[in-house]
Amino acid sequence: MMTHWCILPSVLGFFLASVLDGLGRWEAKLRVWGRRLFIVGWISQTAYLFFWYREVGAPFVVTQGDSIFLISWVIATLYLILGRRERWQTLGTLFSAAVLVVMLLGIFYRGANYAAIYLWPHAWVVPVHLAAAMTAVAVFAVAMITGVLLVISDRQLKNHKPMRFRLPSLANLESVLSALVSAGWVLLTVVLATGVVMMASHGSIDLGGHWWLAVTAWLIYAVVLHSRLWQGARGRKGMLLSLVGFLAILLTFLEAHSK
């Protein structure tokens, strides 16, 4: 019952945060209130997950809706960390709206239950696999948003446009993008490894479509990481590769849910 009471303040918090952050362009105080309401939304969202876990136990990601809700929570958490920097606070509307949309999708679209939970009801590997997969999707989603901002900022500077809308600096966007892609890649590795363990313990190796998509995404991000860290590939080329990687991640997510 407590779970439902947490939803309303969370929805209201993110909704008002997106509105106030938008108006914060003209009135700085509103942005401060926007951030406070975002925190209220995040606390309510966390409380929801906590009570939901107490209600259903591990793994609490039972349906597709649960996984989407968890993704929205990871996105909110990441923005809470990034938003500590002043220039990221100007992106409050974008992130609040994104969190709100994904969260509402999770609430209203419950979807089917995960088959894996019924195949291995007591295996430790299932919650790890699911949690890592959802977190990876959210991390890559934020990486995608960061990458798009990076391209916008790069275009703005290349085209000598006046700097009215203050995005985070290129260097900051670059380092955040690198950190997110690295973390996402590690999580994806955990997802693949736990997936192999699950299949092996089931006694048969079923290489479904989502498995190949996940491996493709893993390889693409490995190339992205390698070229960023060792060859200094930045800007549009790196971004194009990241985009293809994120598409593979999205397809993996959808394919896994179509089972």
Q: Per-residue string for binding with other proteins, 224-253, x by CB under 8 A?
A: -------xxxxxxx----------------
d(CA 7, CA 73) in angstroms, rounded, equals 12
182 near other proteins (CB under 8 A): no
Q: How far is CA 74 from CA 68, 99, 116, 148, 161, in A?
A: 10, 9, 22, 19, 34
205 near other proteins (CB under 8 A): no
28 near other proteins (CB under 8 A): yes
Q: Which is nearer to other proteins, 35 or 129 (CB)?
A: 35
Residue type, 41: G
d(CA 63, CA 49) in angstroms, rounded, equals 14
d(CA 256, CA 247) in angstroms, rounded, equals 14
116 beta partners = none
27 near other proteins (CB under 8 A): yes
Q: Per-residue string for binding with other proteins, 150-179, x by CB under 8 A?
A: ---x---xx-x-xxx-xxxxxxx-x-----
Q: Per-residue string for binding with other proteins, 111-150, x by CB under 8 A?
A: ----------------------------------------
Measured in degrees and rounded to the nearest 5, phi and psi for residue 63 equal: -110, 175
d(CA 26, CA 107) in angstroms, rounded, equals 33
Asked if residue 102 lies in contact with residue 183, where contact means CB atoms within 8 angstroms, the answer is no
Q: Which is nearer to other proteins, 224 or 249 (CB)?
A: 224
CB of 159 to other proteins, least distance (A): 9
Contacts with other proteins: how many residues (CB under 8 A)? Answer: 25
* Residue with token string 């490894």: 193
29 near other proteins (CB under 8 A): yes
Residues that bind other proteins (CB under 8 A): 27-29, 153, 157-158, 160, 162-164, 166-172, 174, 231-237
